[in-house]
Structure 1
Amino acid sequence: MATKRKVLRPKRKWSARVTNTSNAMDLEGGVFTLHDPAEIAASLKRSASKSTRRKGTPYQSAMSMLNFYINRAGKNLPEKQKKVLEEAKGELRKAFHRE
């Protein structure tokens, strides 16, 4: 009778890889660590507008990346920073005139 062995795999940071290499867009460094929602929105808008690695509209890419980061890092984010990122969604809507 063969014994089953548990295969140990290294933990992969797939979400970090997606953030850095996805076709969503090229991000400015440290954008999600900023403390001003308007600055985050402005940075995401700049990145989405100039990126050639996005598939959708600049607005879709920027909002998608913001939501992706909130969903993936959410449980490890301090509540204060999570609130800032949630407020950045509203600022992003304003920046793209999608209120």
Structure 2
Amino acid sequence: MTKRDDGESGERWSQDVTEHSDALDLEEDVFTWDDPARIAASLKRSAEASERRKGSPYQSAMSMLTFYVNRAGKTLPAAQREVLERAKDELRKAFGRD
């Protein structure tokens, strides 16, 4: 993966990946929602609809969610981190992997 530098936005590369993923078309602000089931359902729809992903829909959805949580690091508020961790559980359920 190469760093995309458009010279104007000043976005971090991880934010750029989240917003312009080559594998999944994500709903806007999906990682800011407060409903873990809604986040999981959105990621599942995106992964299943994608023809560009390299792994299974489950792998792609979980990878994007994990990527976001890991890259947000300390800047992710504890309450939102908890929502996203619960979204991982919901994603496992949605794909029958609980």
**1: CA distance between counterparts of 2:30 and 2:59?**
17
Residue segments in structure 1 that go unaligned for 5+ positions in a row: 1-10
**2: CA distance between counterparts of 1:74 and 1:53?**
27
TM-score, scaled relative to structure 1: 0.83
Q: 2:37 matched to which residue of 1?
A: 38
Structure 1 stretches of 4+ with a deviation exceeding 4 A read none
Q: 1:6 matched to which residue of 2?
A: none
CA contact (8 A) 1:27 1:47 kept: yes
Count residues with an aligned counterpart. Answer: 90
**2: CA distance between counterparts of 1:59 and 1:98?**
9
- Would the alpha carbon gap of residues 97 and 26 (structure 1) be closer, same or farther in structure 2, given more than 3 Å must change? same
Q: Does residue 55 of structure 1 match 2:54?
A: yes
Share of identical aligned residues, percent?
67
Per-residue CA shift, 1:27-83, capped at 9, x if unaligned?
A: 111110110110000000011111122111100000000000000013111100000
TM-score, scaled relative to structure 2: 0.84
Which residue identity does 1:54 align to in structure 2?
Answer: R
CA contact (8 A) 1:23 1:55 kept: no
Residue segments in structure 2 that go unaligned for 5+ positions in a row: 1-9
Which residue identity does 2:63 align to in structure 1?
Answer: S
Report the structure number with the largest CA radius of gyration: 1
